[in-house]
């Protein structure tokens, strides 16, 4: 903000020029002229009014900025959903990692999202609501899906290697042929899950809810870590398999 001050009336030319040398006289004349110009402008009320108007316009701009913040967020979400929906059925990321992370960060529901076959390695979707999502054959290696809701999701042939799946709700999900090697499934809810042909080698199963698993036939449980009491025996009785144990 400009600080306005009342200028004193400049000296007459005879006093201002004094005994200045002839060579500097043009510069003194310019300075004297500008002082008079500034003096008259300082007394011009219109300039003061314009200054206040400029301040008022900034204030109005700030008010409009905050009043339209909801519309800007809606536009941002619309653009993110466009990225996700446009890339359906295509391989690669197609910007979906950033778009889904942005939507989840804004607490948008991702219910029923279709990202089948997508490359989503390393995606961070902690606490996301992915109820009935279609992630069939997606690459979710090294992802963080802790505490996600994946109930009734299509996760057939999905790659969850080394993923953080702690406390994920998988109830009723289809994990047929899913790759869960070295996945962290601590506290995950596997009730009603189809794990047929899945690969659970070296997965951490501490505290999983497993007693109502729908099918575990031909699932590789070699080297599972921290398995709850009775899980391995139950799995083998229900046609799970053990193969060569390897850290991958």
pTM above 0.85, yes or no: no
pLDDT tens for each residue of 128-143: 999 999 999 999 999 9
Rounded CA-CA distance 195/172 in Å is: 10
Are the CB atoms for 114 and 88 separated by under 8 Å? yes
Q: Which two structure tokens, joined as six digits, stand for 162? A: 């080394």
β-pair partners for 184: 164, 204
Tell me what pLDDT residue 46 has. Answer: 63
Tens-place pLDDT, residues 193-220: 999 999 999 999 999 999 999 999 999 9
**Residue 246 pLDDT:** 46
Q: What are 53-76's pLDDT values in tens digits?
A: 777 777 777 676 566 566 678 888
pLDDT value for 54: 76
2: its two tokens: 């400009």
- Burial of 153 per CB tally in 10 Å (0-12, 13-18, 19+): buried
Per-10-residue mean pLDDT, the chain, length 248: 62 69 70 73 66 75 64 85 88 89 95 95 97 97 98 98 98 98 98 98 98 96 97 97 65
What is the structure's pLDDT at 247? 45
- Cα(107)–Cα(248) distance, integer angstroms: 34
């Amino acid at each position: 903000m400009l600080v306005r001050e009342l200028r004193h009336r400049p000296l007459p030319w005879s006093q201002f020029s004094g005994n200045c040398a002839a060579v500097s006289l043009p510069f003194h004349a310019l300075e004297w002229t500008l002082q008079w110009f500034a003096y008259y402008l300082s007394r011009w009320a219109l300039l003061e009014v314009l200054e206040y108007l400029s301040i008022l316009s900034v204030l109005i701009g700030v008010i409009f900025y905050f009043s339209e913040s909801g519309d800007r967020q809606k536009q941002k979400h619309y653009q993110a959903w466009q990225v996700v929906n446009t890339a359906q059925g295509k391989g690669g990321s197609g910007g979906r990692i950033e778009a889904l992370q942005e939507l989840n960060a804004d607490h948008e529901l991702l219910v029923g999202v279709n990202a089948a076959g997508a490359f989503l390695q390393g995606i961070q979707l902690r606490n996301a609501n992915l109820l009935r999502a279609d992630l069939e054959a997606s690459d979710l290696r090294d992802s963080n899906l802790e505490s996600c809701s994946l109930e009734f999701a299509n996760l057939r042939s999905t790659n969850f290697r080394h993923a953080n799946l702690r406390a994920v709700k998988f109830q009723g999900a289809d994990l047929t042929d899913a790759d869960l090697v070295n996945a962290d499934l601590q506290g995950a809810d596997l009730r009603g899950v189809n794990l047929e042909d899945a690969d659970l080698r070296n997965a951490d199963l501490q505290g999983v809810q497993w007693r109502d698993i729908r099918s575990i036939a031909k699932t590789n449980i070699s080297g599972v870590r921290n398995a709850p009491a009775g899980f391995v025996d139950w799995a083998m009785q229900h046609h799970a398999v053990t193969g060569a144990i390897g850290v991958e």
